[in-house]
Amino acid sequence: MSAISHTSEVIDVQPLGPSLTQAATSLLYEANGMRVMRLVVRKGAEMRMHQAAGATALLSLEGRVEVVGGDGAIRLSANQLVCLPAGMPFALKGLDDASLVSITARPMAANDSALEAGATAPLDPVEEASEESFPASDPPAFVSRRRR
């Protein structure tokens, strides 16, 4: 499956069931500051320590994994979700063959939180002047004058 790069398609993330044993980790979506992956973790396997710049949500679809990081370790079973703050290093250990959905968002810029709260972005001075002078900024129409 190739990664989807636009928002108009539905992504199937149901458990893989018997085909889990042949499945591999794959990128499902990457665009607009978001990355969505299906992680496949084999029983006894460990995914090395990872640190995402943005917040990460891990949704266990099937099997069990141990998420190690921060203050210790937690166990995730099917249909359980854990949200990790931006920059928190974590590793995964397969307690069973398991698949998870990992959703990582880009870190918010300083002005993103103000925009999210309903504030409007400050106008660029050139754009503001342009808006105020419209339509006077349109070029004048050429009118030919003949001398008689």
Domain ranges of the chain: 17-105
Residue 50: φ, ψ to 5°:
-130, 145
CATH T-level topology, domain 17-105: Jelly Rolls (2.60.120)
Residue pair 62/21 in contact (Cβ under 8 Å)? The answer is no
Spatial CB neighbours of 20, under 8 Å, sequence gap ≥ 6: 40, 62, 63, 97, 98, 99
**pLDDT tens digits, the chain, 148 residues: what are they?**
455 555 678 888 999 999 999 999 999 998 888 899 999 999 999 999 988 888 999 999 999 999 998 779 999 999 999 999 988 999 999 999 999 999 999 876 655 555 455 555 555 555 555 555 545 555 555 555 666 5
Element housing 73 (H / E): strand 72-76
